[in-house]
A and B are shown apart, each in its own frame.
Chain A
Amino acid sequence: MNPWLHRFAVLTALATLVLVGIGGLVTSHGAGMAVPDWPNSYGYNMFTFPVSMWVGGILYEHSHRLAGSVVGFLTLVLALWLNGRPAAKWLRWGSVVVLALGLAASTSAKVKLDNVLFLVGTGGAGFAISFFWPQIEPISQRLARFGLLALVLVIVQGVLGGLRVTALADWLGIFHGTLAQCFLVLVCAIALVTSGWWARLKAGPQPVPVPAKLRNFLLVTTLLILGQLALGASMRHQHAGLAVPDFPLAHGKVWPVADAASLEAYNAARNDHREFKPITAGQIHLHMAHRVGALIVFGHVLGCLLKLRRTVGGAHPLARGAAGWFALICLQFGLGVWTVWSNKAADIATLHVIVGAASLVTGALLTLLAATVWNGHSRAAPVVQEHPPLAPAAGL
């Protein structure tokens, strides 16, 4: 295994986590629409947008776009690297298309020079690079496909983010926020699978296997976290602030009243300078579903930890990982409460997003390890090898 490929995958994963965090800042500061156009920024190519204009909400939104571009570029490189020599041809032809687009744009008076130069420059650079990189054979067929999937996802994610702005569609933001979490999981999984630790685990002696029932429980718990993050994204993209401003009670009750008269009273009592949209009964129910979901996730992660300790022992790497997972969930629970008590302060709400993403990734990687390394099946020969010849589809 090429350690630099693994390091690059880790870099991509970290950049993605940073990107998720900046995305959290964008919604926490209500800045998602601070740059009304896309892919340009106030008419500029996003890479030539003057720093002096990065003010107020623009700072968050424009930074998010630039960070997204960085992650997109890293993912492109990662996908090409994982696909090896055959990908050089895609890079070459893709670059020719970009170059042709740039040249065509140069004939239009509507396209600004910075956009033309950007297209011609990137197309030309990609075309030149394609003659000497990548030259290695694909790491494995399956990893190559995952690299391609990551590339497709990051493109879809970028387009979703852009359409959310240009189509003024809040609901697209929910998919944008949720897909970001799925993409992060995929990139982290690639980083794990390309590591030397993974290869050693696959090749090493079989420790105590994780029973199938428990593997399924890990998977269900991880999916519950994903559902919980999707609920959170739905709440953030309502742009209505806190639908329930108190905790542990909810509008002073165990379960809040959401009739018309109560809603009028709740909205009249909101004196926040951010002047959120009026809250609705649906938003209150969504908020309460997120609270109930938090309890369910907490119970499930605790269940995973206890079951793992009982079945494979506390010293097992999975059990130790689950202990870290449970610690993350406790932290996440606390941040959720703090988000309410702080009236959704932007920094706290953003930390809540980041730790939520980390919780999902931890669950997903533990599930992956349980399903592929400690599954109790007979050990196959390690698939991830140093520059192996192109092999038929094999396990990770």
Chain B
Amino acid sequence: MKSLILTLTAVAIVAGTASAGDVTGKITLKGTPAPEKEIPVDPTCGKLQAGKKVMTRFYVADSTGGLADCVVYLEGAKGGAAAAAPVVIDQKGCEYLPYINSAQVNQPIRVLNSDPLMHNVHPTPAMDGNKEQNKAQMAGGAPLEFTFAKAEKFLRFKCDVHPWMFSYVSVFDHGFHAVSGKDGSFKIAGVPDGKYKLVVEHRKGGKVEKDIEVKGGAKADLDMAAK
């Protein structure tokens, strides 16, 4: 009975002093970016798209301006839950899905091939300590896994067989990051209370920042100007 009381007291103290919450918000695109371009895919890949045009994905926004594919993170944050599950990128219709991803250092990045044809998977990191690799992946081949030891923004994956295929993974040395969804919304879970700089980076739009204070969670909406 004594030990149960002590345990409950300890839990209460920890819960009272180390509260955490989610940082949520929405990224909205302001302005009109240059129109996306049609990608001249080869006939084999064209068939896989069933007649749908394959377009560049520089600015993907919904009707309300919600901007997808923004990498959102807390600058200088430390810790965060270790990511156990791999980040999964699929090759489908000769496109990488998703286009933009985020991961933690040494978190497995698993690349699938759902296409009935072969690809090569070629990550081209720019940071010393992250290894460039180039692996063949046949149709129906086993998933390939990659890990990166150093933090790096927009680490590029490419397929040289189909030179329009790209995906980007921003690698962080902490767990407080996310990628905005189709409606521009994002959620960074389990952020301890405190003051932070929330940073939003878009591959084309650049970077915007906002100081936030987390008290059991926080909400922050940001605008990204088209360039």
Residues of B within 8 A of A35 (CB): 120
Residues of B within 8 A of A58 (CB): 161
Residue A386 interfacial (CB < 8 Å): no
Q: Would you call the interface of chain B mostly helix, strand, loop, or mixed?
A: loop
Residue B163 interfacial (CB < 8 Å): yes
**B132, A31: Cβ atoms closer than 8 Å:** no
Residues of A within 8 A of B161 (CB): 31, 34, 55-58
Residue B56 interfacial (CB < 8 Å): yes
Task: Return B88 CB to nearest CB of chain A, in Å.
Answer: 21
**B134, A36: Cβ atoms closer than 8 Å:** yes
Instruction: Please measure, in the bound complex, the distance between the C-alpha atom of A200 and the C-alpha atom of B158, giving whole angstroms.
Output: 56
**A56, B42: Cβ atoms closer than 8 Å:** yes
Residues of A within 8 A of B122 (CB): 33, 36
Interface stretch, picked from A141-149, A268-276, A313-321, is A268-276
Residues of B within 8 A of A271 (CB): 34, 37, 56, 58, 204
State which size class the interface on B falls in.
20 to 34
Given known A-B contacts A168-B134, A271-B56, A32 and B160 have beta carbons under 8 A apart: yes
Residue B127 interfacial (CB < 8 Å): no
Residues of B within 8 A of A264 (CB): 206
Task: Return A27 CB to nearest CB of chain B, in Å.
Answer: 11
Residues of A within 8 A of B42 (CB): 55-56
Tell which of B117, B135, B136, B205 has the most Cβ of chain A within 10 Å: B136
Q: Mark A15-43, 1 if CB is under 8 A from B, else 0.
A: 00000000000000111111111000011
Residue B92 interfacial (CB < 8 Å): no
Residues of B within 8 A of A29 (CB): 163
State which size class the interface on A falls in.
20 to 34
Instruction: Please measure, in the bound complex, the distance between the C-alpha atom of A168 and the C-alpha atom of B158, giving whole angstroms.
Output: 14
Q: Tell me which residues from 270 to 290 in chain A have a Cβ below 8 Å from any Cβ of chain B.
A: 271-275, 277
Residue B24 interfacial (CB < 8 Å): no
Task: Name A268's contact: one of B39, B124, B204 (CB within 8 Å).
Answer: B204
Residue A51 interfacial (CB < 8 Å): no
Task: Return A260 CB to nearest CB of chain B, in Å.
Answer: 12
Task: Name B163's contact: one of A36, A165, A269, A274 (CB within 8 Å).
Answer: A274
Residues of A within 8 A of B34 (CB): 271
Residue A109 interfacial (CB < 8 Å): no
Instruction: Please measure, in the bound complex, the distance between the C-alpha atom of A170 and the C-alpha atom of B136, giving whole angstroms.
Output: 19
Task: Name B206's contact: one of A31, A268, A273 (CB within 8 Å).
Answer: A268
Q: Would you call the interface of chain A mostly helix, strand, loop, or mixed?
A: loop
Counted as pairs of residues, one from A and one from B, with CB atoms less than 8 Å apart, the total is 71
Q: Chain B: which residue is nearest A273 at the CB level?
A: B39
Residue A380 interfacial (CB < 8 Å): no
Residue A381 interfacial (CB < 8 Å): no
Residue B87 interfacial (CB < 8 Å): no
Tell which of B44, B134, B138, B204 has the most Cβ of chain A within 10 Å: B134
Residue B182 interfacial (CB < 8 Å): no
Residues of A within 8 A of B120 (CB): 33-36
Given known A-B contacts A57-B160, A57-B161, A57-B162, A273 and B124 have beta carbons under 8 A apart: no
Residue A53 interfacial (CB < 8 Å): yes
**A273, B227: Cβ atoms closer than 8 Å:** no
Residues of A within 8 A of B9 (CB): none
Instruction: Please measure, in the bound complex, the distance between the C-alpha atom of A268 and the C-alpha atom of B42, giving whole angstroms.
Output: 27
Residues of A within 8 A of B134 (CB): 33, 36, 165, 168
Instruction: Please measure, in the bound complex, the distance between the C-alpha atom of A74 and the C-alpha atom of B134, giving whole angstroms.
Output: 31
Q: Mark B144-165, 1 if CB is under 8 A from A, else 0.
A: 0000000000001010111110
Given A264-B206, A275-B166, list of 12 further CB < 8 A pairs? A33-B120, A36-B122, A37-B136, A42-B118, A55-B44, A165-B134, A168-B134, A268-B227, A273-B39, A273-B164, A274-B164, A275-B156
Instruction: Please measure, in the bound complex, the distance between the C-alpha atom of A61 and the C-alpha atom of B133, giving whole angstroms.
Output: 18
Residues of B within 8 A of A56 (CB): 42, 161-163
Instruction: Please measure, in the bound complex, the distance between the C-alpha atom of A328 and the C-alpha atom of B164, giving whole angstroms.
Output: 34
Tell which of A37, A55, A269, A273 has the most Cβ of chain B within 10 Å: A273
Instruction: Please measure, in the bound complex, the distance between the C-alpha atom of A274 and the C-alpha atom of B159, giving whole angstroms.
Output: 11
Task: Return A346 CB to nearest CB of chain B, in Å.
Answer: 10
Q: Tell me which residues from 150 to 194 in chain B have a Cβ below 8 Å from any Cβ of chain A.
A: 156, 158, 160-164, 166
Can you list 18 contacts pairing A with B, beta carbon distance less than 8 Å?
Answer: A30-B163, A33-B160, A37-B136, A56-B163, A168-B132, A168-B134, A264-B206, A265-B227, A268-B206, A269-B227, A271-B204, A272-B37, A273-B40, A273-B56, A274-B163, A275-B164, A275-B166, A277-B126
Instruction: Please measure, in the bound complex, the distance between the C-alpha atom of A264 and the C-alpha atom of B203, giving whole angstroms.
Output: 11
Residues of A within 8 A of B39 (CB): 273
Instruction: Please measure, in the bound complex, the distance between the C-alpha atom of A272 and the C-alpha atom of B44, giving whole angstroms.
Output: 22
Instruction: Please measure, in the bound complex, the distance between the C-alpha atom of A373 and the C-alpha atom of B166, giving whole angstroms.
Output: 56
Q: Chain A: which residue is nearest B137 at the CB level?
A: A36
Task: Name B133's contact: one of A32, A37, A53, A168 (CB within 8 Å).
Answer: A168
Task: Return B121 CB to nearest CB of chain A, in Å.
Answer: 9
Task: Return B141 CB to nearest CB of chain A, in Å.
Answer: 11
**B163, A31: Cβ atoms closer than 8 Å:** yes
Q: Tell me which residues from 37 to 68 in chain A have a Cβ below 8 Å from any Cβ of chain B.
A: 37, 42-43, 53, 55-58, 61
Residues of B within 8 A of A273 (CB): 37, 39-40, 56, 164
**B160, A34: Cβ atoms closer than 8 Å:** yes
Instruction: Please measure, in the bound complex, the distance between the C-alpha atom of A117 and the C-alpha atom of B156, giving whole angstroms.
Output: 40
Residues of A within 8 A of B132 (CB): 168
Instruction: Please measure, in the bound complex, the distance between the C-alpha atom of A165 and the C-alpha atom of B58, giving whole angstroms.
Output: 30
Instruction: Please measure, in the bound complex, the distance between the C-alpha atom of A269 and the C-alpha atom of B226, giving whole angstroms.
Output: 10
**A36, B136: Cβ atoms closer than 8 Å:** yes
Task: Name A30's contact: one of B44, B138, B160, B206 (CB within 8 Å).
Answer: B160
Q: Chain B: which residue is nearest A268 at the CB level?
A: B227
Task: Return A189 CB to nearest CB of chain B, in Å.
Answer: 35
